[in-house]
Amino acid sequence: MTGAVRSRGPGRRPGPTETREAILASARELFAEKGYDGASLRAIAREAGVDPALVHHFFGNKEGVFIAAMRFPVDPGRLLPVIMAAPRERLGETMVRTFLEIWSDADRRAPILAMLRSAMTNERAAAMMREFVSSALFARAGAAADVPLVNVQSAAGQLIGVMLLRYVIRVEPIASVPEEELVTLIGPSIQRYLDHSAP
Amino acid sequence: MTGAVRSRGPGRRPGPTETREAILASARELFAEKGYDGASLRAIAREAGVDPALVHHFFGNKEGVFIAAMRFPVDPGRLLPVIMAAPRERLGETMVRTFLEIWSDADRRAPILAMLRSAMTNERAAAMMREFVSSALFARAGAAADVPLVNVQSAAGQLIGVMLLRYVIRVEPIASVPEEELVTLIGPSIQRYLDHSAP
DNA sequence: GCTTAAATTCAACACATGATGAGTTCATCT
DNA sequence: AGATGAACTCATCATGTGTTGAATTTAAGC
């Protein structure tokens, strides 16, 4: 009867170290929910069941946590080939479907949301997103589809905007419309941007 | 040599009261830049050259300042008729032009940005935006153009997404492309959404 | 089994935040 | 001219923030 859940004193915990990953998981969740500035180190630590100082010990400072948590947003290197495998006249349709598939899964949506939310209010996060999105997404997609960058970005704008209304602001009816309806509605617009050949 | 710019003691200032407006102006600027949570009452007061308590005196609390600062985002009642005056087959083009005109002017962009930035990280701000955008924008536009709401919202998503990439994240090249190029690029997509007749 | 290194917490710092109540100066109304 | 109220500042509170250094416990290497 002595084994009450004591508040656990200092010192290393028994067993293999799993706290680092726990911290990263909480960080992703909270950054996704509140953005960079809104998610506090202390809240992350609390959610991970850990002292705030431990977060520091592992990642140095808040920015370190953010950078570590953001590694692996979507892995475009693996996603692009899948999309490009579709027949050229169905590219738009395929892209909308892929986007919806990712966004409708909370776990895969989280890092993207975190990036977007943070970039909206934090200049450094905006810089990170700018660089990632330019080099890792737009440049590759443009090259793969042989389409000018402005076109790729217009298409991306369309997708981001709709996801924002659907999953962040949650305006009706677009928040509840079935996925297939969005595919037939938006797909052709995307297709149009990708049909224009390079100048 | 006695008239040094003293740090100004307590008590009402001479002349008519202009501080209220000054506070609102600073509030709009800062909410636009940092969003609801990022803009602090103290920073707003500092920018307006005023004691933080005065902000409280006028608006009660932080939310009061936000609500007061957000009155008049775009005045859709005056904007819609202008847009709808265009010939039906040029609606898309006209909308893109109108949007670009508003967003390229920092003063008119500010309240929209404030709303958007705040809605990204603050649930109450998101609720406000949801309501405003649903009743004041989408419902009217849908009725005026006799188009289903999902179509209106898809068009809005396209516009918001592009503005986001252009003016918030500032990704190149879409951040620097001349307005007319965007009009011919995106206009047809918008037009498509508005061409579908109501179900 | 001893030693070194890593994991973990505690206590504290310096600072920023939103809020409040009391006090002072001016404008306005009679 | 005097009274009332509005505009305005000061000092202060309680709370939350990111960060740091020291102390303690466990795991790994020899």
Query: Which residues of chain B does A121 touch, with a Cβ-Cβ cutoff of 8 Å?
Result: 34-35, 37-38, 117, 120-121
Q: Estimate in Å the CA A51 to C1' D23 gap, whole number.
A: 15
> Contact A174/B157, CB-based, under 8 Å?
yes
Q: Which two tokens stand for residue B160?
A: 């918001």
* Interface with chain B: mutation pick from A185, A192, A196, A197, highest number of B CBs within 10 Å: A185
Fold of domain B76-195? Tetracycline Repressor; domain 2 (1.10.357)
Please state, in angstroms and rounded to a whole number, the distance separating the CA atoms of residues A111 and A118: 10
> What is the average per-residue pLDDT within B80-99?
90
pLDDT of residue B2: 37
**Inter-chain contact A153–B170, Cβ cutoff 8 Å?**
no
Element (H, E) at B133: none
Query: Please, what is the average pLDDT of chain B?
Result: 87
- Kindly list the distances between the CA atom of residue B174 and the CA atoms of A164, B171, B178, in Å, as whole numbers in the listed order: 19, 6, 9
Q: Are A73 and A112 in contact (CB under 8 A)?
A: yes
Q: Does residue A101 carry a pLDDT above 80?
A: yes
Looking only at Cα atoms, what is the longest distance across chain B? 78
Exposed (0-12), middle (13-18) or buried (19+): which is B15, by Cβ within 10 Å? exposed
In Å, what is the separation between the CA of B9 and the C1' of D8? 8
- A88-91 long-range Cβ contacts below 8 angstroms, 24+ apart: A89/A191, A90/A191, A91/A145, A91/A190, A91/A191, A91/A194
| DSSP category for residue B173 | T
Cross-chain residue pair A165–B160, CB shorter than 8 Å: yes
Closest nucleotide to B56 by C1' from CA: C19
Place of tokens 């692009």: A80
Report yes or no: A65 and A54 within 8 Å, Cβ to Cβ.
no
pLDDT of res. A2: 36
Distance CA A59, CA A144 (A): 36
Residue A105 CB neighbour total at 10 angstroms: 10
Question: Which pLDDT belongs to residue B74?
Answer: 63
Average pLDDT over residues B156-171: 94
B19-70 to CATH, choices 3.40.50.300, 1.10.10.60, 3.60.15.10, 1.10.10.10: 1.10.10.60
Residue nearest to nucleotide D20 (CA to C1'): A53
Name residues 52-111 of chain A within 8 A of B (Cβ).
none
Quick one: tokens of B38?
């990022």
pLDDT at res. A72: 65
- Given this model, what pLDDT does residue B7 score? 56
Q: Taking 60 as the threshold, does the pLDDT of residue A199 lie above it? A: no
CB B149 within 8 A of CB B64: no
Asked if the Cβ–Cβ distance from B149 to A120 is below 8 Å, we say: no
Contact B189, A189 (CB under 8 A): yes
Cα–Cα distance, A10 to A14 (Å, whole number):
12
> Closest approach of chain B CAs to the CA of A82, in angstroms?
24
pLDDT digits (tens, 9 = 90+) for B5-30: 445 777 677 777 889 999 999 999 99
| Mutation to test the B interface, candidates A37, A129, A169, A186, most B Cβ within 10 Å | A169
Q: pLDDT for A126-180, tens place per residue?
A: 988 888 888 878 888 888 888 999 999 999 999 999 999 999 889 999 999 999 9
**Short-list B155, B185, B144, CA closest to B95:** B155
pLDDT value of residue B4 = 37
- Which chain A residues touch B119 with a CB distance below 8 Å? 168-169
Contact B186, B162 (CB under 8 A): yes
Mean pLDDT score, B184-194:
96
- B23, with CB counted inside 10 A (0-12, 13-18, 19+), is buried
Query: What is the rounded CA–CA span in Å between residue B152 and residue B63?
Result: 30
Res. A73: pLDDT tops 60:
no
More confident residue, A3 or A173: A173
pLDDT tens string B52-85: 999 999 999 999 999 899 876 566 677 888 888 8
pLDDT, residue B142, reads 84
CA dihedral A11, A17, A20, A23 (to 10 degrees): -70
Domain boundaries along the sequence of chain B: 19-70, 76-195
Checking if the pLDDT of A1 tops 70, the result is no
B175, amino acid identity: A
Predicted model pTM: 0.83
